[in-house]
Structure 1
Amino acid sequence: MSGTPSPSTASTARASGPARASRASKVSRTPRFRPRARRALVALHVVFAVGLLGSDAGVLALVVAGWRRAATAAAVYPAALLLGDWLLLPLALLSLATGVLLGLGTQWGLFRYWWVAISLVVNTGGTLLAWFALLPGLRGAAHAAAAGQAVADPGGVVRASASACAVLTATVFLSYLKPLGRIRRPVTRVTSDG
């Protein structure tokens, strides 16, 4: 009996050495959330992302109304700016932050799967465009409308907001369908020096 290893001893012997160290280092490199914390973070991320899409759709509806009827510009552009400043940008930042946390703390990673990497790039780009293109356009339109002047480029504000809605909708489909699989990493060959 002492000469035959028990199944638990045999499995321990097989898992020792470099293979065991490699598995242990992979596990420790990727911090994981506990299931309850992960579900809460996923719920927050979905709330922020859906809120972002809704606020952007609201901004789009307002800027289309201002573009189609110049008489409503004095009311709709300041309202669109209010939505942009108070909802759109904060929700974009919160959606991006919770998405990054989910990528870092779950098996999906940030750059392991195409759909996650594309979503990260698109959401980062969309947040930057909202900050540096959409909101300044809304601000200019709101100030012009409040001063009783014609809005310089109402079509540009509509295009920016419609593009943001389209990109956000595409990101929702990416997250739901999860296409394209894993990102392939280059295979490194181990050579022996002896």
Structure 2
Amino acid sequence: MSVRDSESTRARRTTPMPPRVRRTVLVLHIIAAVSWLGLTFADVTLAITGMASDSPEVRHAMFRALGTIADILLIPVAWTAFLTGLLLALGTQWGLLRHKWVLTKFCLTVLTVALTTFSLVPGLKGMRDEVNATPAGELVQLETSDVTALISAGIISTTIYTTCVVLSVFKPWGRTKRGRAQTR
């Protein structure tokens, strides 16, 4: 294989996606990421409002709303943010394994998608089921530790999402070993 063949193979592997496709995926990624952050704020707000209220109707409504968010929005939004981010990493000059900031964002997103899918959503649905099992005029008694965990998850998620935004804007730390080797 000649040097020229090797260069053309490398160029094909790293050829970015067409600009129109990249912009479309980027817009979808930003919308999903901002939506995920908004849903996190909504989760925390609904949980705090529900627990602070002495009204059975308000508490029921807040935790049913949390269950609805879990049923309809959280999984699609989380996975859309993850998959569009992965497409951007693989289809642009940044690459998934070339820059430390991209790899860090990827790892943080994998962690939050896994926690959302396997812990947060089942927990929210469980709270909603507890509310549904409580008669309408009765104040539902949820475990304080469950609601505290939900609020803590919101704080941690917000910190992770904010970190991802900062990484996207500042692009710190340079290239990975693999990224440095590919530029030679």
Q: What is the TM-score normalised by the length of structure 1?
A: 0.81
Percent of paired sites with the same residue: 33
> Please, what is the CA RMSD of the aligned residues?
2.0
Aligned 1:68-107 pairs, distance under 5 A: 68-71=52-55, 72-107=58-93
AA matched with 1:150: Q
Q: Does 1:120 align with 2:120?
A: no
Q: Does 1:39 align with 2:23?
A: yes
Is the contact made by 1:63 and 1:158 (CA closer than 8 Å) also made in structure 2? yes
Query: Which region of structure 1 is more displaced relative to structure 2, 50-59 or 61-70?
Result: 61-70
Is the contact made by 2:71 and 2:125 (CA closer than 8 Å) also made in structure 1? no
Q: Kindly tell me: are residues 45 and 108 of structure 1, through their superposed partners in 2, closer, same or farther at Cα, counting changes over 3 Å? A: same
Deviating beyond 6 angstroms after TM superposition, the runs of 4 or more aligned structure 1 residues are none
How much does 1:147 deviate?
2.4
Q: What is the TM-score normalised by the length of structure 2?
A: 0.85
Q: Does 1:159 align with 2:152?
A: yes
Q: Which has the higher helix share?
A: 2
- Point out where structure 1 has 5 or more consecutive residues left out of the alignment: 1-16, 189-194
Counterparts of 1:74 and 1:118 in 2: how far apart (Å)? 39
Asked which structure has the greater CA Rg, the reply is 1
SS in 2 for 1:111: coil
Counterparts of 2:100 and 2:29 in 1: how far apart (Å)? 19
SS in 1 for 2:141: coil
Q: Does 1:142 align with 2:142?
A: no
AA matched with 2:142: V
Counterparts of 2:72 and 2:114 in 1: how far apart (Å)? 16
Aligned to 1:22: 6
Aligned to 2:37: 53
Aligned to 1:8: none
How much does 1:33 deviate?
0.9
2:115 is aligned, of 119, 129, 146, to 129
Ranked by relative contact order (alpha carbons within 8 Å, sequence separation 6 or more), the top structure is 2
How much does 1:111 deviate?
1.0
Counterparts of 2:180 and 2:148 in 1: how far apart (Å)? 49
- Point out where structure 2 has 5 or more consecutive residues left out of the alignment: 135-139
Q: How many residues align?
A: 172
